[in-house]
Amino acid sequence: MINATFSNGFTDTDRAKACKTAEHKAAYYALCAELADIEARTGLYLADENVDAENAIDAGLSYGSADFWEMMIQNAEMNAGSRAEDAGQNINELIGRVIY
């Protein structure tokens, strides 16, 4: 594959990374919206963006990178699963798919 450079200095690789970052960020916020709906229905505490971000930053990831947003998703899933479990609930049943 040729890695072309555009007039703005971006390469095909840069553009692919930007798309991946946007996809992960959108997926994270879609998950947060699902968790917020479950919180509203059940009264459970499941999602906390600040905790997710703190864990990703503590892992040494650059804020806003594709890897950062990917870890944000993983953190949200793990934390929601753990919090639901602590409340005697199953996050997979609540959300309708396996995330934990």
pLDDT digits (tens, 9 = 90+) for 23-71: 999 999 999 999 999 999 999 999 999 999 999 999 999 999 999 999 9
Going from the C-alpha of 46 to that of each of 1, 7, 34, 79, the distances in angstroms are 43, 45, 10, 7
In a domain, 16, yes or no: no
Identify which of 56, 51, 47, 59 has the alpha carbon closest to the alpha carbon of residue 24: 56
Q: Provide the domain count of the chain.
A: 1
User: What 3-state class would DSSP assign to 74?
Assistant: helix
State the Cα angle at 25 between 29 and 8, rounded to 5°: 145
In a domain, 73, yes or no: yes
Phi, psi of 68 (to 5 degrees): -60, -50
- Say what the pLDDT of residue 19 is: 83
- Helix (H) or strand (E) holding 89, with range, is none
In a domain, 10, yes or no: no
Enumerate residues 6+ apart whose C-beta is below 8 A from 10: 18
pLDDT at 78 over 70: yes
- Using CA atoms, how far apart are residues 12 and 18, in angstroms rounded to an integer? 10
In a domain, 7, yes or no: no
User: 41 lies in which domain range?
Assistant: 21-95
pTM of the full structure: 0.84
